Amino acid sequence: MRKNGLIALSFHTLVILFVLAPLVIIVLVAFTPEQTLTLPTRGLSLRWFRAILDYPDFISAFLNSIKLAFSSATLSLALALPAALAIGRERFPGREFLNGLFLSPLVIPSLVLGIAFLRFFAMIGATGSFTWLVAAHMIIITPFVMRLVLASVSGMDRSIEHAAQSLGADRWTSFRRITLPMILPGITGGWLLAFINSFDELTMSIFVTSPQTITLPVRMYMYATESIDPMMASVSALVIFVTAGAMILLDRVYGLNRILIGSH
């Protein structure tokens, strides 16, 4: 394999630094003891992390985001798993159309989806409903679950499954003991990726949340328009830590390279 030259390595390093620099700055500012967003600071302090506990709106928004992300990711998995099994293992009329239908939210901008959901919810009288908010998030995160589970289903060796059936195992036993463990990394990775995307979703959520269902990204956006104190940076740092932890877990479970390049 040909090694990258000095120019290529330097370019890649600069790109990585350019991408990571804003995140690093946010984390550093989150530990400032100052009253405003300043860098460098006189030292490190947990002052603004403690201040989050005195702002109940952030706590309730965080709980809303966790509940919303867990519910929508779980329901998306329940929908995408049987669809991926059917598309990846069977040949039937409309198979490609069904696959494209499940992946279609990826090509629709979140802004367009947000306006469409807002209009639809207003028409059916569902504005402010947490249940319909979960349904909206399901639509935008199901493609992530579908893609990973379908990759696992398409790449599995079905000869082991056939061997189990030839030895007397029924279809349910074969699925539970053979198929499910083989595609479990894709299922787990898809759920985690869907959870992360639902938890971090902002653009669409702005249009469909209500005062009772405001998520953490929406609350952060609203707070940022009203104040410039470092508590915004401390909340952002916590979101970065949670997202980074979830991505590390996703890499350990499934492998980020398999997600990014789509390999089986």
Q: For residue range 78-120, what is the model confidence (pLDDT) as tens digits?
A: 999 998 888 888 788 888 888 888 888 888 888 898 899 988 8
* Of 64-68, 108-112, 156-160, the least confident: 156-160
Average of pLDDT values for 188-217? 88
DSSP label at residue 156: S
Q: Is the pLDDT of residue 263 over 50?
A: no
Please tell me which residue, 100 or 175, carries the higher pLDDT value: 100
Segments making up each domain of the chain, as ranges? 54-261
Q: What are the structure tokens assigned to 139, written together? A: 């639509």
Helix residue ranges per DSSP H, the chain: 6-30, 47-52, 56-89, 95-103, 110-124, 130-155, 158-166, 171-174, 180-200, 203-208, 216-224, 231-253, 256-261
d(CA 206, CA 225): 14
Average of pLDDT values for 136-164? 84
d(CA 232, CA 244): 18
- Considering the four listed CATH numbers 1.10.3720.10, 3.40.50.360, 3.30.70.20, 3.50.50.60, the one that applies to the domain covering 54-261 is 1.10.3720.10
Peptide bond into 211 cis (omega under 30): no
pLDDT band at 262 (very low <50, low <70, confident <90, very high): very low
Q: What is the DSSP string of 173-212?
A: HHIIIIIHHHHHHHHHHHHHHHHHHHHH--HHHHHH--TT
d(CA 224, CA 222): 5
* Of 63-77, 150-164, 180-194, the least confident: 150-164
Q: Is 130 exposed, middle or buried (0-12, 13-18, 19+ CB in 10 A)?
A: middle
Percent of the chain at pLDDT > 90 equals 12
CB-CB contact of 218 with 61 (8 Å) = yes
d(CA 233, CA 245): 18
- Kindly report whether the global pTM for this prediction surpasses the value 0.75: yes
- For 94-114, the three-class secondary structure string (H helix, E strand, C coil) is CHHHHHHHHHHHHHCCHHHHH
Q: By C-alpha distance, which of 13, 180, 175, 147 is closest to 80?
A: 147
Q: What are the structure tokens assigned to 202, written together? A: 């902002």
Please tell me which residue, 168 or 264, carries the higher pLDDT value: 168
